[in-house]
Every structure is written in structure tokens, then in C-alpha cells.
Structure 1
Amino acid sequence: MSRTQDVVEDVQRLILDGGLRPGDRLPAEKELASELGVSRGSLREGVRALVVLGILEARHGDGTYVTALDPATLLAPVGFLADLPGDHAPLHAVRAMLETEAAGLAALHVTAAHVARARAALDDMARALVEPRPEPARLAAADLAFHRTVAEASGNPVLAALLDALAGEGPRRQVWDEMHELAGDRTLEEHDAILAAVTARDPDRARLRMAMHMVAVEDLLATTSTDGPAPRRRNLAEAAPAR
């Protein structure tokens, strides 16, 4: 095991044991290196690794601090997995399970503010779909806003952070770049059904609607990857669901 790895594990142990708490400033470099029994060079390398992991935050001219250790920050590196090329079917399967459970929990914990944000995301997607050339970036942003709201409404910040890492801005934009625009209408209808179940506080139906949506996304991606983009529709406005 390298000395750098020793530093990483020792600082993590200090945090876990309560020697360092969220927001605490690390001791001076010389002092901490002596305490951990490593060289100052190894300490610097270890600190840099901990900064990348979101455990520490280096503030220019003010030292290094323990972060808030919130789930979103600590789980952000998981997003790299979603960015890797290759078969994403296993990743999608995990995401589908998490999204489905998030929808069920959201039906139990949703607030009026969550409903308003989710509805605003649906409205944004609907407006994007009636444009002559719907922009994938705009559709991806509305899609992300909807799913983030459902995940946050679950009341479980770890679940929400995992979903954001697995299907955040980058992966979601890639999906919309690959899917043909006809998928937008279908996605909007499915989102609307999910929100209706969540708003009705029906967890079983919310899980079912989300599970159906995730299967539909999987099917669309499989079709797009094998057949290429589908032809454009003639009338985007007519295809949009009634609001």
C-alpha cells in the first residue's frame, strides 16, 4: 500500500472517529504529517486525492477543510461510471430499480413545492416539443429536472444523490442525442402519468408507472442503437398530450 493511500485512509479514519468533523480545518501540514507518520510530500498527495473524492476542500490562502460530507458531493465520482463507453444495460438496470423506488417513496413524502417543480419541468418539455426542431439539450434539461424532483421528493438524500450521479446532465444529454424526437412525446406522457400517481399519493401505482417508463426508455435506446433515428413527425403540436 502506498503512503498516499495511507494518508487517505488515516484522514478518513480521523473523520469517522470524530477527530475531524464537517467544516473543520485540517491541522498545519507539518503537524498533520507528523501525527500521521508520513512525509509532507505524501501528505500533499493524499490531501489532493481526498479533495478529488469530495471529502476535503482546499481553500486558496485559507487552508484545507473537511467538506459537509453530503451524499451529493461524495457520490459525484460515481458519475464517471455513467460516462464510460460500452454497454450501459447493467447501469440502466440499477438506475431503473432506484428510480422505481424513488417514485414510490415520493408518493409518500411529496409536497406541494415538489409537485409545482415537477409540473414546471413537464411544461418546459411540452414547450420544447412544439418547436420546429426540438433541441436535445432543452429536452434533457427538462427530463433531468423532472427526475431530480421525484428523487428529491423521496425524502432520501442518498437515493437522490445516487440517481443524480448515475443519470445526471452528461448521461442524460447523451440519451437525448441518441433518441429520436418522437420519444419526447412518449416521455412526456409517461412523466405525466408518474406525476399523477405521485400526486395521488399512490406508491404502488407510482412505482408501476416509473417502472413502465424505464422499460420504455430501455426499448427506445435499443431501437435507436440498432435502427438509427426514426423519421421526423409531421406535426409536433398535434402529438403533444393535452395539458
Structure 2
Amino acid sequence: MPRLSPNVSLSEQVADQLRRRIADGEFPVGALLPTEQELTRELGVSRNSVREGLRSLVHAGLLGARAGYGTFVIATSDLGPALARRLERDRAADVAEVRLLLEREGARLAATRATPQQVAGLAEALAARAAATDGPAYAAADIVFHRLLLEASGNALLAEIYRGTGGNERSLEHLNSPDVDLAAARPRLADIDASHAEILDAVAAGDPDAAAAAAERMARLAHELQEEAEHHDAH
């Protein structure tokens, strides 16, 4: 691998090249990277340079490493991990406002850009959400719906910022447990369920204003339910 600059170490160049390949989609989230030995051979640098480059990406939050498994991708850019670290210090109300803005504008864009395949994916996620019989299954289907919605916006940066803020996972913490009686919780979720269906209908119909309004209503209802659950747990 040619040196880019005498002021840039080989390990930094390794990290930069892997960062670009991850951003370009060669290694998607969840994918295993080649081994240190394979990368050493491929990049033409020392194993120590590869190891240091990988270590810097683990520290940045792009990669994870597990003994006996390997090094794997957990984020597609530095943005998501940086936002996640910031959110640990921010007020829940601020995070909720940002999430509302992202959801609303993501839904608005999705209504003008979603492909038939993406609309079908949203419908499948909602069907799985409706068919869920426990909290974790409900939460998993809901996370998929919101991730697909932001991807359907056609704005990769918007989707990345949404993932970096934790998406809707924080608002699902009170449901994402096998101890949750989902059947008993369903009546309290009825309005949120209805707003999700409205988002899907508006996106399928290509109505950006209706999609944005439904997404804003959904985000507000979800935040209210989250606050209610946190208040209950505190007492």
C-alpha cells in the first residue's frame, strides 16, 4: 500500500482505507473483516500496522472485536458512535425532539422516494409488529420499521444520523423485555399502532404532508408513553 504522506503512519493509512471500504458498503454492519494475516497480505504492510489500524477503528466505534470470532463492523461511519457518546450526556427531552425532527422529515422524504420494495418492507415490518406476542419481538419489528423508513428517505446521511441517535430504541426500553405483558399493554399502544399504519398508508400513497404529520404524532405518542413508563418505574 503506497504511503500517502510521510506524516501519515501506515497504521493510519490502514484505518483510512478500511474506513472508506466500510463507508462504500464493501463491509456492511455485522460483516466480519478479513483476518489480520489476510489484511497484512492484501495491504502489503506489517501485521503490527494492521493491528494498530484495526484498534483505532475499534476505539472510534466502527468495529467490534470478540475473541474466537473476529473483528466485525458495528457502524458505517464515525458519526454514529460520536453521536451515541454525545447522547449519553444530553437530556432525554432534547433527544426526543431530535428524533421527532428526523422521523418527521424522513417520513416526508420517504413518501416521495420510497420504492415499491421499500413500501413492501415497511408493510412486512408492521405485520410482524402486529403479530408479536412478546415485548422483544414487538420491539425488534418496530426497530426494523423505523430503520427502513429512514432508509426509504433516500438520504443516507439522514439515516446515519438517525441510527447515531439510537433511533427509536430508547423509547422501546420499557417494552423490550420478556417480562412485559404485551397483551395487557396493547390498549395503551393502540394510538401509536394507528399512527404507524398512517405513516405506511401515506408513504404508499406518495403523500409527504400526511406522512410527516403521522410521523410527528407517532413520535410524540411514543415519547409520552416512554415518560409514563419511566415515571411508573421511578415510583
Provide the C-alpha distance between the structure 2 equivalents of 1:55 and 1:148, rounded to a whole number of angstroms.
18
What's the counterpart of residue 35 of structure 1? none
Superposed CA deviations along residues 92-129 of structure 1, whole A, max 9, x for unmatched, are 2111111111001000101111111111111112222x
What letter matches 2:217 in structure 1? M
What letter matches 2:101 in structure 1? M
Of 53, 57, 69 in structure 1, the residue corresponding to residue 60 of structure 2 is: 53
Secondary structure of 1:72's aligned partner: coil
Provide the C-alpha distance between the structure 1 equivalents of 2:63 and 2:232, rounded to a whole number of angstroms.
46
- The verdict on how the C-alpha distance between 1:196 and 1:21 changes in structure 2, with shifts beyond 3 A counting, is closer
Of 83, 101, 107 in structure 2, the residue corresponding to residue 97 of structure 1 is: 101
What's the counterpart of residue 88 of structure 1? 92
Q: How many residues align?
A: 197
Tell which structure's C-alpha radius of gyration is larger: 1
What's the counterpart of residue 217 of structure 1? 222
Moved more, 189-198 or 162-171: 162-171
TM-score normalised by L of structure 2? 0.65
Alignment of 1:114-133 (within 5 A): 114-128=118-132
Structure 1, unaligned runs of 5 or more: 1-5, 31-39, 59-63, 129-133, 230-243
Percent identical: 29
Provide the C-alpha distance between the structure 1 equivalents of 2:121 and 2:151, rounded to a whole number of angstroms.
11
- The verdict on how the C-alpha distance between 1:200 and 1:79 changes in structure 2, with shifts beyond 3 A counting, is same
What's the counterpart of residue 183 of structure 1? 188
Structure 2, unaligned runs of 5 or more: 1-7, 27-38, 66-70
Please give the root-mean-square deviation of Cα atoms over the aligned residues, in Å.
4.0
What's the counterpart of residue 135 of structure 2? 136
What's the counterpart of residue 236 of structure 1? none
Q: CA deviation at 1:214?
A: 0.9
Provide the C-alpha distance between the structure 1 equivalents of 2:20 and 2:215, rounded to a whole number of angstroms.
38
Kept after mapping to 2: 8 A contact 1:79/1:165: yes
Provide the C-alpha distance between the structure 1 equivalents of 2:84 and 2:45, rounded to a whole number of angstroms.
32
Q: CA deviation at 1:55?
A: 6.3
Kept after mapping to 2: 8 A contact 1:107/1:198: yes
What letter matches 1:201 in structure 2? G
Q: CA deviation at 1:226?
A: 2.2
Q: CA deviation at 1:74?
A: 3.7
Q: CA deviation at 1:29?
A: 3.3
- The verdict on how the C-alpha distance between 1:173 and 1:211 changes in structure 2, with shifts beyond 3 A counting, is closer
What's the counterpart of residue 107 of structure 1? 111
What's the counterpart of residue 212 of structure 2? 207
What letter matches 2:92 in structure 1? H
- The verdict on how the C-alpha distance between 1:13 and 1:149 changes in structure 2, with shifts beyond 3 A counting, is closer
Provide the C-alpha distance between the structure 2 equivalents of 1:49 and 1:211, rounded to a whole number of angstroms.
38
Kept after mapping to 2: 8 A contact 1:7/1:47: no
Provide the C-alpha distance between the structure 2 equivalents of 1:207 and 1:124, rounded to a whole number of angstroms.
23
Kept after mapping to 2: 8 A contact 1:108/1:201: yes
User: Are residue 28 (structure 1) and residue 45 (structure 2) matched?
Assistant: yes
What letter matches 1:191 in structure 2? H
Q: CA deviation at 1:54?
A: 6.0
Provide the C-alpha distance between the structure 2 equivalents of 1:216 and 1:188, rounded to a whole number of angstroms.
10
Superposed CA deviations along residues 111-168 of structure 1, whole A, max 9, x for unmatched, are 111111111111112222xxxxx41101101111111111111011221122223235
